Structure 1
Amino acid sequence: MNIDLILRGGRIHTMSAVGTTDAVAIHDGRIIALGEDALRLDARVTRDIRGKTVLPGFIDAHAHSVWFGLTLVELDVAPARSLDEIYALVAERASDTPAGEWIVGAGFNQMSVGNRYPDPDRLTIAAGGRPVWLKHTSGHACVLNRAAMSETGVYEAALRGVEGGRIVLDERGEPTGLLEEQAMRLVQDVMLPYPLARIEEALEAATAHYVSEGLTSVTDAGIGGGWIGHSPQEFSAYQNVLARGSLRTRQQVMPESSTLARHGEPGATGSFVGFNTGVRSGLGDDRLQLGPAKFFLDGSILGATARMTEEYHHCAGSHGYYQGNRDDIRGHALDAGRGGWALAMHAVGDEAVDLAIDIAHTLRAEGITPPMPHRVEHGGVVRPEQLTELAEAGLTVIGQPRFLTLYGDGFREFIGDDRAEWSFRSKSLLDAGMSLALTSDRPVAPGAPLSVIESSMLRRTESGHLYGAHERLTIDEALAAYTTGPAQVTGWAGRKGVIAVGALADLAVLGADPCDVLPEEVSDIPVAATVLGGEAVYDPEGVIAV
């Protein structure tokens, strides 16, 4: 029998006890042999990769594929370094936008423009009267101009307030255009849902970009509802793009918690929280699967909305807030866990992490085993004693070390250097016995895996500050945290994230070995090819393809 493919002549990091090898044999989408065993087989295609390095395909366990894909076509204001530059970008987009249509921008970060926010009147002038919606890079806030505030009812809502969010007012009591957390629903109720075709276009663009960076599996951390969803049909968009062969990466998706509803009377036989059909985490296959349910407990550090036990340095008396009533969030999460859902709990502040631990401990005490691991997303501040509590609750923290490179100086301003030592942990999670998955949270931050890996080893801010030196990873630990670690966290241990007999044939072929370069050079390593299920999905130089 001729098998499909043999790759030879390179350094293959298996991320297993085998260590490195020099050949891998692939058939029917899976790895069937390594080393000398592989070279004894006959293949329809044999490729000498001429000294290149092969790793398991990278796995990003927390990104936002639809959101990221949309940013590729929306106005990008991230490069702006002053408010005047933002107004100029809006004016330029307005020149190509029909009168009355919305101008939608992405990537706004007040820290990039002197910790200031756009003036709603200046935005209105720049847009020629068109409504403007600028999304904060964190995803936890947005800025509207006067026209947009009028169309979305912001002025009326400011009089009654918003639970789990805030409409920021100026000294005269007038809305500034800044909406935080649940207040963003005002604009989303007008602008959403996006058309299905636009979401499909976004997915095609996002996954095509992913494979150019060696990514083969991505978890979309919140679809279908809440302030992070773009349409109740988002899962249908995934199915449609997969069916026509344009979904380039394997995808696991997290339905946002508001999409789950109670069915039946609480406590009655057959009562559960979930979808009408009873579908829950784990449904699907290796190409498209339902992951955990996404629960937002709090907000973000840069928005000062993450729930902290101690107050923010820049805002006396402010501890951030939960995204709704704490007891209601807890009850809904427990009911979902009892209904068979794994939980992915967005908890940035340490007080929110306490709530996540409590929820997981309660489910474990009830003897409920999730279909895949429960998780804490972000863990912006994790106190020392919480490390043991997280491990005992069966949780791990899904972190984003790239945040430190881009936003670390701002974090220190908001939470101070003492709490920064407990912030966005990596090494201490491993030391506490937890699985470690490094992720991008793209498009909140640029998400190339090699750049995230580099950040996890350096932990240097833009000013050069060493942010939590004790949390730095070695290259071996960092590579594992983008392969075997996220495979474990997403319920695919042994089948993804490893080059082993029986595993999915997902590979990243690199132009240099990350183990052979300086930490600050890792992000410069080129991705030569990406293989998904034995097929080259990215191969600009013909390294794999015939």
Structure 2
Amino acid sequence: MLIRNVELAPGERIDVRIDGARIAELAPQLAWHAQERVFEGGGAALLPGLHDHHIHLRALAAAFASVHCGPPQVTDAAALAAVLRAASIRLAPGQWLRGIGFCESVLGAAGIDAIDRDWLDELVADRPLRIQHRSGRLWLLNSAALDALAPTADAPLERRNGRWTGRLYDADDWLRMRLRGAPPSLHAVSRWLARRGVTGVTDTTHHNGPEALHAFAAARASGELLQQVRVMGDARLDAQTDRPGAQRGEHKFHLHAHALPEFDALVAAIRASHDAGRAAAFHCVTRTELAFALAALREAGVLPGDRIEHASVAPPELVEVIAALGLTVVTQPHFIAERGDDYRRDVDAADQPWLYRLRGFLATGVGLAGSTDAPFGSADPWAAMQAAIDRRTPSGAVLGAAEALTPAQALDLFLAPLEAPGGAPRRVAVGEPADLCLLDRPLAAALRAPTQVEVRLTLVAGQVVYTREDADVPDYPRGSSGMPESQGCA
């Protein structure tokens, strides 16, 4: 392919030749070769393809086929009832109805305890219904769902007066085993990401094992998954190696402040993965989780590539430890844009300056990378860039203004290699992989308004995976309007 008249830097127009999977030539004007496909850039910016360094692909695929049950689409109990009943009518008899993004604010002052199986039965009684809380840690089940799951006495479901309430906390593995359904196809999700210029992702699902690594490699080989993929998971991946199309990623430790693992066992697990040449990644959305993870890493010793996911609350004293240990932070700036007003109301005022920090990490030399955590946040990286720049909540308030990035810094969050988040951003250069995205406007215009950017062309390993002119991709809503919201800080 020959891509003509594109901008690599403001005011720098150039032609780019792709040969196989790599960039072969760059010059102000290149002659056309016979049989070469030509794409006219029109002076728009050509970038390395974006990398989402923290995403959950299968959950995102399931979310695309689910009913959104929380803000901004659903803000009260009447609206929740309406969307569930409307969705139920469209399903075949007995088919499960799956909701996502539920927030207790929908119930007003009643709170989460107001929802139980009986309340859900009033909304949908004729089919199994399960609704996921926006945190990703709680499922709400109606009576038909409980009957279909047929729980035994030792099931991890909440009981009240000896009866299942329909609330299931931190038990996705149990639910997955009971449902025993085939995993959702990645076809639509992958093409939606390509439409946004995403050419690489790190799936950070903590229970991924060898079968997940194999499944992602198979999805890449079949064309179901277009993006390069790095696969985090549990200790079972220590003995695995990279597969064609799928890199073995870090050992993901999913901490919960209320049930932290035994410290010495955690240190031993970190060391075992390090001995296998595998870095560690820690889910940290509270101050307690972050302090615990840092203590464990200090005791175990740090391997290059060890990283903190989210770092939702990062006070200065812990940022100093992160910097001293040489860790990378992978964060989600759009959580401020999606949940910032709730944070202003619910998070301790002393912690609010340290929410989803950006500039504070860069100022101390911490490697920082961007991601979406989709489906627990919007899957649109351009919305995340906008949030990193303006730090505005849904109501328009600014939260953590001192943490805002320049537009160029916000873009760089999504340009690092998958294996080195927070490292030097990739650039369009001869010999580099032809993982590219061509925008619809010059770079300066794109950086002024990231959420207005459209992608015209996306390449992965030199292969066209999306063109706006030939697009046959579902136009799912962009930003927080179309995706579940984040797990936030609690």
Question: What is the TM-score when the length of structure 2 is the normalising length?
Answer: 0.85
Aligned to 1:288: 246
Is the partner of 2:37 in helix, strand or coil?
strand
Letter in 1 for 2:84: V
Q: How many angstroms apart in 2 are the aligned matches of 1:323 and 1:124?
A: 35
Equivalent positions of 1:131-210 (< 5 A) are 131-149=128-146, 152=149, 156=153, 167=158, 176-181=165-170, 183-191=171-179, 193-195=180-182, 198-199=183-184, 201=185, 203-210=186-193
Can you list the C-alpha shifts for 1:50-73, whole angstroms capped at 9, x where unaligned? 121111100000011111011112
Give unpaired runs (5+ residues) of structure 2.
472-490
The match for 1:35 among 2, 27, 34 is 27
2:14 aligned partner = 22
Name the CA distance, whole Å, in 1 between partners of 2:136 and 2:123: 24
Contact 1:12-1:21 at 8 Å conserved across structures:
yes
State the SS of the aligned residue for 1:93. Answer: helix
Percent of paired sites with the same residue: 26
Mapping 1:405-444, distance limit 5 Å: 405-444=337-376
- Kindly state the Cα deviation for residue 477 of structure 1 after the two structures are TM-superposed: 0.6
Does 2:296 match 1:359? yes
Match of 1:345 among 262, 274, 282: 282
TM-score when scaled to structure 1? 0.77
User: Which digits, 9 at most, give the CA deviation of each residue in 1:98-146, with x for residues without a partner?
Assistant: 5544322222233455374444213123322433211123312221223
Which residue does the alignment assign to 2:431? 502
Equivalences for 1:209-358 in 2 at 5 Å? 209-222=192-205, 225=207, 233-255=211-233, 257=234, 260=236, 278-280=239-241, 283-285=242-244, 287-298=245-256, 307=257, 321-358=258-295
Change (3 A) 1:110 1:427: same
Alpha-carbon displacement from aligned partner over 1:5-53 (angstroms, at most 9, x marks no partner): 2322121249xxxx955232221211133234x7378572343311211
Which runs of no fewer than 5 residues in structure 1 stay unpaired?
A: 261-273, 299-306, 308-320
Distance 1:325 1:184, change over 3 A: farther
Q: In the alignment, is the contact (CA less than 8 A) between 2:187 and 2:225 conserved in 1? A: yes
Contact 2:268–2:300, Cα closer than 8 Å, also in 1:
no
The answer on whether the counterparts of 1:400 and 1:441 sit within 8 Å (CA) in structure 2 is yes
Q: State the distance in 2 between where 1:294 and 1:125 align.
A: 39
Give the Cα separation in 1 of the matches to 2:267 and 2:143. Answer: 37
- Distance of 2:363 and 2:417 partners within structure 1: 14
2:98 is matched with: 104
Q: What is the count of residue pairs matched by the alignment?
A: 465
Assess if the C-alpha contact under 8 Å between 2:267 and 2:299 holds in 1.
no
Residues 46, 100 of structure 1: CA spacing in aligned structure 2 closer, same or farther, 3 A cutoff? Answer: closer
- The answer to whether the 8 Å contact 1:154/1:175 transfers is no
* Residue aligned with 1:529, SS: strand
Structure scoring higher RCO (CA < 8 A, sep ≥ 6) equals 2
2:87 & 2:351 partners in 1: Cα distance?
41
Q: Is the 8 A contact 2:121 2:142 kept in 1?
A: yes
Deviation string 1:353-386 (CA, Å, 9 cap, x unpaired) is 122222332343xxx745xx11111011011011
- Tell me if structure 2 keeps the 8 A contact 1:348–1:380: yes
Distance in 1 (CA, whole Å) between partners of 2:93 and 2:364 is: 57
Aligned to 1:268: none
Q: 1:232 to 1:49 in 2, by over 3 A?
A: same
Q: 1:100 to 1:416 in 2, by over 3 A?
A: same
CA contact 1:57–1:531 (8 Å) conserved in 2: yes
Separation in structure 2 between the aligned mates of residue 99 and residue 125 of structure 1, nearest angstrom:
18
Name the aligned partner's letter for residue 240 of structure 1: A
Confirm or deny: 8 A CA contact 1:56 1:499 kept in the other structure. yes
Distance in 1 between residues matched to 2:15 and 2:350, nearest whole Å: 48
